[in-house]
Amino acid sequence: MEYLEIFSGIWKLRLGAPEEHVPSAQRFVKSPQKNGISELPPVTLPFSPDDITFSVSPRGCLIELPMNANEDVYGLGLQLKSLVQTGKKRILRVNSDPVADTGDSHAPAPLYFSTSGYGVMVDTARYATFYTGGNKRCGNHSEQKKDYDSRSIALNEEDLYSGRKSGLARMMIEIPVAQGVDIYVFGGPKMLDAVRRYVLYSGGGCMPPEWGLGIWYRCCGSADQSEVISVADELREKHIPCDVLGLEPGWQSQTYSCSFKWSEERFPEHEHLIHLLDTMGYKINLWEHAFVHPTSPMHESLKPYSGDFEVWDGLVPDFATEKACKIFGEYHQHNFTSENISSFKLDECDNSDFIISPWSFPECSRFPSGMDGEQMHSLLGMLYQDVIETACRKENIRTYGSARCSHLFAPSMPFVLYSDLYDHKDFIRGVVNCGFSGMLWTPELRHAVSTEDYLRRLQAMVLSPQMLLNIWSMPHPPWYQLDREKNREGIFYSESEREKLLASTRKILKFRQSFIPYLYSAFAIYHFEGIPPFRALAMDYPDCDNMRDIDYAWMAGPDLMVIPFTADTTERTMPLPPGNWYDFYTGQKHSEEIYLNPDIHTLPILVRENCIIPVAEPLTAVTDGVKYELQLRIYGKTPQPVRMFADDGISLDYQKGKFAWGEINQEGIVSQEISFRYEVKDILRFV
């Protein structure tokens, strides 16, 4: 066994004979951001090949890696049910709606990062099992005599089965079927450095268009053209900011599976609609999934390049074949991206959840590329995103969309994950977690059980990857009625209640809009330097034990800490990372810990000491190349200038070097090179 250092601090190790269809062999893999990697500090190997055990069997192969006693690991894809992954058993099955904390995820990734300052990527499309330090081999005892008698008799299941991580256990990874695998080790020295190496190796973080960071609203699934226009009108009339309108399945002539044709019945004048929405400042996002209905124009030509099982009567295109990508991609280019459609929602590219009927293709499916169903389930999300992103790129459209599955190499893909699950704590945990796998996640709003629930859910999106009001199951905007059934039945709140809700909604959405420049620069840092824009506190402070399991707060961009509340919580005392932290609104200074009891209109936000937060005058919708009017909010006595990124915000020209980095200092002076996008109107100081 020998390591190959493929980039500075990134090692590849081949174990046995890897399979043909692995994530790294797919067309979605981007070129690494070499410059970014080379700017990271040099680092030595976290463990030598001698510390690794590898074996093959008819079951597949097994890798064992060292772990130390105080080490915690994170990642394994979008795990909504838990943050810390140490001492557990995880099987990375692709599953749309896992209800339990088993490893099942709609976006699993065989990838973890350690507080000991390294990361490990296992290049497999199999449903690998990770035993993360909870299992001990026989004879692997410390010689110290144990005090067996001190144990008390447990009287509840929690005590009986409570996890006791053993310092002698190792990370074990079992991969089914495969007789070998490549593993990639990302060096630190800190955990965040390892994450950055992974992100940069994957091509750097994605660069969303600026409008993608604005407000998204998905119309009701049954809405026809005139109903969509009436939503568009209402949002503008009521001064509700909105950048993107999403159309649900009803835009198509056939769904489940998809015809990919406009419905003549519901959208007879879709060209008119597209034009109208454009003039009103809306981008359009179209819902679809990859399963191709017999009535689709693509059906015949895709037949030879599809799997051997149908899903909802539709073909499953094999996007691991060039032909299927070409047919599907060109169809999208000709019919949509060249017709001013900038964005797509890629639904159901994950997998059935076992519980309801098995709607997706089985794991034993065969595809023309040679992949089986298990491999395809792992990779379909990434392959599909790539086909769509390519169709956009060919029209010089910088897209930002939604997808329900991702895997390795996700960072460079401009797609945000979402889920049919809806527990708000899980949704918040998703934002905390997603950075560890270089993924993006929206804690979207669909409906709410109360005004408090509604406001808390909106707040949790203000500093998240995507602020999405996904109103697909309600014919009327949420301020008419938050309850799905009542909304459908037309039972509305009173006029005055509606106005109150509308005002609260407007205020929160404007708050999001005001952070676009800050978030956009954070994404540029993600792209060029690999730092995820949304990070667990453990990622920034892996050595603070009390930060390791905080799954209810995250870092947004360089300097903000967000602590969204859920409707069932009124107060919380939380530990703080080292240094002083300022209340975003009042400037009150805190250290070590903070007691929070925000009213239902307030999203708790803290600011790192000596930082400047640029807050923009909110726009109704992002206009291309708009110059933002900023309020500088300055926290602390010796603030550092804030780094800002500027480009056209909409095209792919940044990939050709058409962008600029600059600074804004505490006097409000904007560097020349970025002054075409930013001007300072106001300065507020909190000392």
Applying CB under 8 A, the site for a copy of itself has a residue count of: 82
Task: Tell me if 372 contacts a copy of itself by CB under 8 A.
Answer: yes
Q: Return the number of the residue (130 or 582) whose C-beta is nearest a copy of itself.
A: 130
Radius of gyration of the chain (CA): 25
Which residues 233-262 are close enough to bind a copy of itself by CB under 8 A? 248-250, 254-256
Q: Which is nearer to a copy of itself, 42 or 58 (CB)?
A: 58
C-alpha 557 chain-centroid distance? 14
Residue 610 and residue 640 in contact, taking contact as beta carbons nearer than 8 Å: yes
Side-chain half-sphere of 539: how many Cα atoms within 13 Å? 34
Q: Which is nearer to a copy of itself, 157 or 571 (CB)?
A: 157
Distance from C-alpha of 633 to C-alpha of 668, rounded to nearest angstrom: 10
Rule CB under 8 A: say whether 378 interacts with a copy of itself.
no
115-to-50, 194, 485, 576, 608 alpha-carbon distances in Å: 21, 10, 46, 18, 22
Least distance (Å) between residue 174 CB and a copy of itself: 5
Interface with a copy of itself (CB under 8 A), residue from 142, 150, 156, 496: 156
CA dihedral 405, 411, 415, 420 (to 10 degrees): 40
91 beta partners? 129
For a copy of itself, the closer of residues 404 and 512 by Cβ is: 404
CA 487 – CA 496 distance, rounded (Å)? 17
Chain residues 315-334 in contact with a copy of itself, contact rule CB under 8 A: 315
Name the residue nearer to a copy of itself (CB basis): 21 or 608. Answer: 21
Using CB under 8 A as the binding rule, whether residue 218 contacts a copy of itself is answered as no
CB of 127 or CB of 198, closer to a copy of itself: 127
CA-wise closest residue to 406 among 428, 429, 380, 425: 380
Whether cis (ω within 30° of 0) applies to the bond prior to 496 is no
**Residues of this chain, 165-194, that bind a copy of itself according to CB under 8 A:** 165, 172, 174, 176-177
- Closest distance of CB 263 from a copy of itself, Å: 10
Considering beta carbons, is residue 314 or 557 the nearer one to a copy of itself? 314
Residue whose entry in the numeric block shows the structure tokens 């960072």: 411
Per CB under 8 A, 160 contacts a copy of itself: yes
Is the Cβ of residue 90 or residue 197 nearer to a copy of itself in the bound state?
90
The verdict on 231 binding a copy of itself (CB under 8 A) reads: no
The smaller minimum CB distance to a copy of itself, of residues 405 and 519, is found at 405
The footprint of a copy of itself on residues 417-476 (CB under 8 A) is 420, 472-474
Rounded to 10 deg, the angle between the 516-529 and 191-201 helix axes is 80
What 3-state DSSP class applies to 174?
strand
If one asks whether residue 354 binds a copy of itself (CB under 8 A), the answer comes out as yes
**Interaction mask 543-582, a copy of itself, x per CB under 8 A:** ----------------------------------------
Q: Please pick, from the candidates 12, 30, 484, 643, the single residue that binds a copy of itself as defined by CB under 8 A.
A: 484
HSE-CB for 151 with a 13 A CA cutoff: 9
Q: Which of 26, 285, 352, 481 binds a copy of itself (CB under 8 A)?
A: 352
Q: Tell me whether residue 95 or residue 342 sits nearer to a copy of itself (CB atom).
A: 95
Q: Measured at the alpha carbon of residue 35, what is the angle toward residues 29 and 38, in degrees to the nearest 5?
A: 105
Indicate the residue among 20 and 667 with the shorter CB distance to a copy of itself: 20
Side by side, the strands of the sheet bearing 554-556 are 534-536, 554-556, 560-562, 605-608, 572-583, 589-596
The answer to whether residues 405 and 349 touch, using CB atoms and an 8 Å cutoff, is: yes
Q: Which of residues 41-70 bind a copy of itself (CB under 8 A)?
A: 57-59, 62
Q: How far is the CB of 561 from a copy of itself (least distance, A)?
A: 29
Q: How far is the CB of 281 from a copy of itself (least distance, A)?
A: 27
Smallest gap from residue 2 Cβ to a copy of itself (A): 25
Helix (H) or strand (E) holding 664: strand 660-664
Residue number, 62 or 600, with CB nearest to a copy of itself: 62
Q: Of 271, 274, 254, which Cα lies nearest the Cα of 263?
A: 254
Please report which helix (H) or strand (E) contains residue 244, including its range. strand 244-247
Best CA proximity match to 171, nearest among 281, 303, 292, 74: 74
Please give the structure tokens belonging to residue 239: 């001064």
Residue from the set 310, 339, 609, 663 that interacts with a copy of itself by CB under 8 A = 310
Q: What is the DSSP letter of 622?
A: P
- Give the DSSP per-residue string, 209-260: -GGGGSEEEEPPTT--HHHHHHHHHHHHHTT---SEEEE-GGGBSSTTTB--
What are the phi and psi torsion angles at 242 (to 5°)?
Answer: -160, 130
136, 507, 627, 658: which one contacts a copy of itself (CB under 8 A)? 136
Task: Find the binding residues for a copy of itself in span 101-130 (CB under 8 A).
Answer: 101-103, 129
| Least distance CB 534 / a copy of itself (angstroms) | 26
CB 538, min distance to a copy of itself, A: 19
Give the nearest distance from C-beta 549 to a copy of itself in angstroms.
15
Q: Among 210, 243, 374, 426, which residue interacts with a copy of itself (rule: CB under 8 A)? A: 374
- In the complex with a copy of itself, the residue whose CB is nearer, 362 or 587, is 362
556 three-state secondary structure: strand
Q: Please state the closest distance from residue 155 (CB atom) to a copy of itself, in A.
A: 5
Instruction: Please choose, out of 292-300, 553-561, 583-591, 635-643, the segment that lies near a copy of itself by the rule CB under 8 A.
Output: 292-300
Q: What contacts 639, CB < 8 A, 6 or more positions away?
A: 610, 611, 612, 666
Distances from the Cα of 128 to the Cα of 267, 281, 380, angstroms: 45, 45, 17
Residue 99 CB, nearest distance to a copy of itself (Å)? 5
User: Is there binding between residue 667 and a copy of itself (CB under 8 A)?
Assistant: no
**Residue 615 corresponds to which tokens in the numbers above?**
């807050």
Q: Which stretch binds a copy of itself (CB under 8 A): 105-113, 161-169, 432-440, 628-636?
A: 161-169
CB of 17 to a copy of itself, least distance (A): 12
| Rounded least distance, CB 250 to a copy of itself, Å | 5
Query: With contact defined as beta carbons under 8 Å apart, do 436 and 50 qualify?
Result: no
Structure tokens at 22: 């692995």
Toward a copy of itself, which CB reaches closer, 34 or 59? 59
State which of positions 69-108 bind a copy of itself (CB under 8 A): 87-91, 98-103
Q: Which residue, 221 or 641, is less far from a copy of itself as judged by CB?
A: 221
Q: How many CB atoms lie within 10 A of CB 303?
A: 11
For every residue of 442-503, DSSP letters joined together read: ---B---SSHHHHHHHHHHHHTSS-EEEE-TT-SS-TTT-SSHHHHHHT----HHHHHHHHH
User: Which residue's CB is nearer to a copy of itself, number 193 or number 347?
Assistant: 347
